[in-house]
Amino acid sequence: MLRHLPMILKNALRNRRRSLLTVGSIGASLGLLAVLISLYFAFFLKDQSTPESALRLVVRNRVSLATVLPISHGERIRHIQGVKEVMILQWFGGKYKDERELKNFFARFSVDPEKLFIVYPDYRISEDEKQAFLRDRTGCVIGNGLVARHGFKIGDRITLAGDIFPVTLELTVRGIYTKERDNENLFFHHKYMQEGLPAGFKDIVSNFVVLAESPAAVAGAAERIDEAFRNSLAETKTETERAFELSFLSYLGDVKMFLIGISAALTFTLLLVSANTMAMSVRERVREIGILRTFGYSRTTVLGLILAESVALGLAGGLVGLGLAGGLVLGLRHTPIIFVDLKALTLEPGVILLCLVLAGAIGFISSFVPAWTAAGRPIVDALRFND
């Protein structure tokens, strides 16, 4: 087959415009498909947890994320078997500068400052900055991702006007922590916010983060926490950090069906486009195939030549598609949507391979019928063929 390679390539490029359009068309669909598969993979298949995050549980009100818990739950949770540490994690929301500019929307949480780096040992920060943050009641720490986006530096003042909470906070950046993913958050002292709040708001909190004693203790601790508050006025739901992250996805609607539905439509489109082109180009060449056969090319060789040409076109489309997908993934990573998996989206080697295989397979499948028919046509018929 290898010695036929120049001929295959020549054939593929014979009608340059058509090949280009086909490659472009396959590329567009395949690029999208690659992005959708990457999203599906990141959301539903990939194990995103790290040894540190696997030890963490998030507690929220069973009713909904917008429903609060009494702050006193924290003390009770600490004494539950399997729990090593409990920290308040309160979504602050609020407005930073012009809220309409999407860039200014990032996550802000109030926490127990002294516990922050115990519960999140994977948030790396220098000891000096950590101490500065602990000392300053109005201090805050921010993730390296946020620094990259906003150019914040230590000593900067950040003013947050509350919306959920009727309070305005004047914060000073005291430290910057680094982390691979989920690094665009701001944390500040819960006590500082509490001081400025009216009575009804002082003793409620949206979430607690629990650090389990060991990986083996995680599941049991979650069950015991929920059990402890069962039939109380504020029942809890305790889930792993990953499950908590994923629950946000479900708010977007049926994301799984959305991804599967569109991927199916794309795959089908790919097949159509590719099959159409190959059918056209084979039909134009029936006589030529007849001539090749008279020269002594066997049916199998002719079949192989056409199939290889189509696979080559498919693969070229695949490469273009992967280039497009790379660009789209980069774009998605910079969306202001607060969703951790999106911020860290990559084209996994597995996905790349899958797309290339798919591209080749589409080329193969789409040309099989026209190639088989053309190669199987009796020579005399083929020579006489007039389209």
Partner 1 sequence: MRIPLSYNVRNLLVRKTTTLMTALGIALTVAVLVGVLALTEGLRTSFKATGHPLNLLVTRRGATSEMLSIIPRGSFLRLRAFPGIASTPDGEQMASLEVITAITLKNRDNLEGVNTNVRGLLPAGLAMRENVRIVVGRNMIPGRREVIVGRSVAARYPSAALGKNIKFGRGEWPVVGVFDAGRSALNGEILGDLNQIASDYGRSEALSSVLIRATDPVAAEALKNQLEADRALNVGVQSETAYYESQMTSALPLQFMGTLIAIIMAAGSSFAAMNTMYAAVSRRSAEIGTLRVLGFSRGSILVSFFIESLALAAFGGVLGIALALPLNNLETGISSFTTFTEIIFSFRVSPPIMAAGLVFALLVGAIGGLLPARSAANKQILTSLRQV
Binds partner 1 (CB under 8 A): choice among 2, 98, 100, 233:
233
If binding is defined by CB under 8 A, does position 70 make contact with partner 1?
no
Nearer to partner 1, 262 or 380 (CB): 262
The answer to whether 318 contacts partner 1 (rule: CB under 8 A) is no
Q: Which of 137, 254, 298, 346 binds partner 1 (CB under 8 A)?
A: 254
Our finding on whether 32 is near partner 1 (CB under 8 A) is yes
- Give the burial class of 181: count Cβ atoms within 10 A of its Cβ; 0-12 exposed, 13-18 middle, 19 or more buried: middle
269 touches partner 1 (CB under 8 A): yes
Q: Which is nearer to partner 1, 104 or 144 (CB)?
A: 104
Smallest distance from the beta carbon of 28 to partner 1, in angstroms?
Answer: 3
Site for partner 1 in 50-69 (CB under 8 A): 62-67
Query: Which tokens in the block code for residue 183?
Result: 């690094």
Place of tokens 């598969």: 37
Instruction: Give the residue ranges of DSSP H helices in 229-348.
Output: 241-251, 255-283, 286-294, 299-333, 340-343
Q: Which of residues 295-314 bind partner 1 (CB under 8 A)?
A: none
User: In the set 252, 260, 353, 357, which binds partner 1 (CB under 8 A)?
Assistant: 252
**Least distance to partner 1, CB of residue 91, Å:** 11
| CA-based nearest residue to 49, from 233, 245, 284 | 245
Which residue, 120 or 194, is less far from partner 1 as judged by CB? 194
Contacting residues for 7 by C-beta, under 8 A, at least 6 apart: 305
Q: Does 326 interact with partner 1 (rule: CB under 8 A)?
A: no
Considering the complex, state which of residue 105 and residue 152 has its C-beta at the smaller distance from partner 1.
105
Task: Report d(CA 289, CA 312) in Å as an integer.
Answer: 19
Options 162, 314, 360, 363; binder of partner 1; rule CB under 8 A: 162
**What is the amino acid identity at position 240?**
T
Q: How many whole angstroms separate alpha carbon 387 and alpha carbon 385? A: 6
- Residue 41 DSSP class: I
Q: How far is the CB of 201 from partner 1 (least distance, A)?
A: 9
* Dmax (CA) of the chain: 95
Residue closest to 81 by CA, chosen among 239, 224, 230: 224
> Of 106, 63, 60, 44, which Cα lies nearest the Cα of 254?
44
* Position among 5, 262, 330, 357 found at the interface with partner 1 (CB under 8 A): 262
Contact with partner 1 (CB under 8 A) among 8, 11, 12, 31: 31
Between 18 and 299, whose beta carbon lies closer to partner 1?
18
Radius of gyration of the chain (CA): 30
DSSP element (H, E) containing 213:
none
Q: What amino acid is encoded at 256 in this protein?
A: K
Does 24 help bind partner 1 (rule: CB under 8 A)? yes
Instruction: Report the phi/psi class of residue 119: left, alpha or beta, with left for phi > 0 and alpha for psi in -120 to 50.
Output: alpha
Q: Which residues bind partner 1 (CB under 8 A)?
A: 17-18, 21-22, 24-29, 31-32, 62-67, 93, 162-164, 166, 200, 233, 247, 250-255, 258, 261-262, 265-266, 268-269, 272-273, 275-277, 279-280, 324, 337, 386-387
